[in-house]
Chain A
């Protein structure tokens, strides 16, 4: 994609005469300067996080500031990992994120398929009911949900963290649209072969949906990995905290903030996402664009 775009941009320059191309060169340099400045500013917090996480305490508290540590202190990561139960936080984050991402996806997959390809009286009305939940922000359901969890004795438990978050209107909506676009003939052939609806879904519809499925899974994974308010409200003991919440306790551990440890903690939280983003940047960016341009 990148090459074709760059080639596209080059084309007009070729058509124009030498005088204009000089002007184009200066404006081209200007554009590059703007972009490089913006990228440096936007990327700076990441650099700052990493470089601080590798400093010694002395380097953190030196004035004037030390930009890069003299020798990277990798053991900050080991120390911070043992300072708080980071293994437990990570385990909780993985359980929370993976089960919601997968559960939400299965719900959306089945419901999306049913709404797209199965007949049922008034099914558009039912779909509308599902769609309406888009309009209900999590902030307004928070308190009643908390009261329900309290009555169920589900506060500070995995079911309490996970079950209320499992349903998804978004996945249902996107997958329904996608399944509607698949040609009928594919399914007719399978019906004649006697395939049940679930098998039609898993063996015909799903393999034809890889791009949208990977986008959905990635977006859901990031959203739940980053979730803060919900796990904060539902959990109350350190052993049940997820990473984004657990890492906050690093601020209470020291008398003065030892930024090298706090930044190492922040790096631990963010790193899996950065890795995922570098591997699947195309899906992330296209997912964002699709979601916005469709709306």
Chain B
């Protein structure tokens, strides 16, 4: 092959690759454009817009609005209602996640033993996870019925009176927490079970040969191996719990006297009940900051928590 022929074939090659590359660029743009356009219009823009809205006194019922700076935030932070709602949200979130994960871990350990029809039990435990919260909330209202519900029946069988939990300032938060735990238990159980099944059996056998009992094996071999998953479930569980809306909206409407009100329901009520878009946006921004804090914890302390 002469040098000349070699060169001409190389240039031919290059021009082919250029058009090929151009075609690839065009294809890339066409492929990502629908998704990217929608994300910019319906996620990025509203996201930034809500920061702006939080600095205005926009009311849907009025044609004009003014910039009010951080007034909405100041008003929120000064109102006892905001702190009540914050308290509810935190009690609800930490309560459901800590109780829920403890129960899930126990269930996952039990499911990881020798069991008849393990697949069936796993199916039952998981099932609440896929059901409609808003519909199952109706079932729970019915079960909580102070006269004709199953709890009332069980209590009267024991000779006790079952209170109207959903209109009791004391019991309303625990009552909806139970629903949230019931709903979320299956997901974490199934994930923890998969993590437990992934634990190296040779490590467990080695520990057993060294004379460790079942609890010691769990405490020093299995649990350390699944801490990353446990940590992940804690953080995502908290993030989901903070954003709870459906069961509050259906079961209590935040009542009685705000005792079961939480951030998202309050955002909804400020915006679509009272038309106060500015205050509602400020509350949404505050909630976003809290959720971001958890996201940060999730990435930041992941490595530190993992102890093999």
User: Does any Cβ of B come within 8 Å of A125's Cβ?
Assistant: no
Q: Give which listed residue, B138, B229, B295, contacts A263 with CB less than 8 A.
A: B138
B96 interface residue per 8 A CB criterion? no
Give Cα distance in the complex from A114 to B24, angstroms: 9
Interface residues of A in 123-152 (CB under 8 A from B): 123, 126, 129-130, 133, 135-137, 139-148
- The answer to whether A142 touches B284 (Cβ under 8 A) is yes
**Chain B neighbourhood of A164, CB < 8 A:** 38, 42
Given contacts A9-B113, A143-B284, contact A281 B123 (CB under 8 A): yes
Cβ–Cβ < 8 Å partners of A285 in chain B = 122-123, 126, 190
Q: A118-B27, A120-B28, A163-B38 are in contact. Are A141 and B47 (CB under 8 A)?
A: yes
Interface string of B26-42 (1 = CB under 8 A from A): 01110110111011001
A28 close to B250 (CB less than 8 A): no
Q: Please determine whether B121 and A45 come into contact, CB atoms closer than 8 angstroms.
A: no
A42→B116 contact, CB < 8 A: no
**B191 proximal to A (CB < 8 A):** yes
The one of B133, B148, B295 in contact with A61, judged by C-beta atoms closer than 8 angstroms, is B148
Which interface class (under 10, 10 to 19, 20 to 34, 35 or more) fits A?
A: 35 or more
Contact B118 A6, beta carbon cutoff 8 Å: yes
Q: Which residues in window 38-54 of A have CB below 8 A to B?
A: 38-39, 42-46, 48-49, 52
Q: A81 interface residue, CB < 8 Å from B?
A: no
CA distance in complex: A149, B6 (Å): 62
A5 to B287 alpha-carbon distance, docked (Å): 42
B274 lies within 8 A of chain A by Cβ: no
Number of interface residues of B (CB under 8 A): 97
Contacts A49-B139, A110-B35; A144 near B53 (Cβ below 8 A) = yes
- In the complex, the chain B residue whose C-beta lies closest to that of A62 is B148
Q: Is the CB of A133 within 8 A of B44?
A: yes
Instruction: Kindly provide the distance from the CB of B250 to the nearest chain A CB, expressed in whole angstroms.
Output: 6
Name the distance in Å between B246's Cβ and chain A's nearest Cβ.
4
Q: Given A32-B115, A140-B50, A284-B126: A45 and B139 within 8 A (CB)? A: yes
Assuming the A-B contacts A63-B148, A137-B243, are A107 and B268 also in contact, with contact meaning beta carbons closer than 8 angstroms in the complex? no
- B136 lies within 8 A of A65 (CB): no
A107 contacts B132, C-beta separation under 8 Å: no
* Residue in contact with A277 in the complex, picked from B130, B132, B133, B277, CB distance below 8 Å: B130
Residues of B within 8 A of A60 (CB): 148
Determine whether B308 belongs to the interface, using a CB cutoff of 8 Å to chain A.
no
- B139 adjacent to A266 (CB under 8 Å): yes
Could you give, for residues 233-277 of chain B, a 1 whenever the CB lies within 8 Å of some chain A CB and a 0 otherwise?
Answer: 100100000010110011000000000000110011001100001
* Residue contact B136 to A167, C-beta cutoff 8 Å: no
Q: In this assembly, does A204 line the interface, its C-beta being within 8 Å of a C-beta of chain B? A: no
> Is residue B142 contacting chain A, with contact meaning CB distance below 8 A?
yes
Check A270–B131 contact: CB distance below 8 A.
yes
Q: Is the CB of B32 within 8 A of A140?
A: no
Question: Would B110 and A143 count as touching, CB distance under 8 A?
Answer: no
A250–B137 CA distance with the chains assembled, in angstroms: 13
* 23 A-B pairs with C-beta separation under 8 A: A9-B115, A10-B114, A31-B115, A49-B142, A60-B148, A108-B35, A130-B39, A135-B292, A136-B44, A137-B287, A140-B46, A141-B47, A142-B284, A143-B267, A167-B38, A197-B24, A198-B27, A229-B246, A257-B145, A259-B145, A288-B126, A292-B236, A295-B232
- For the complex with contacts A35-B121, A139-B284, A263-B138, 8 further pairs of A-B residues with Cβ separation under 8 Å are A28-B113, A129-B39, A130-B32, A139-B267, A142-B46, A144-B47, A266-B135, A292-B233
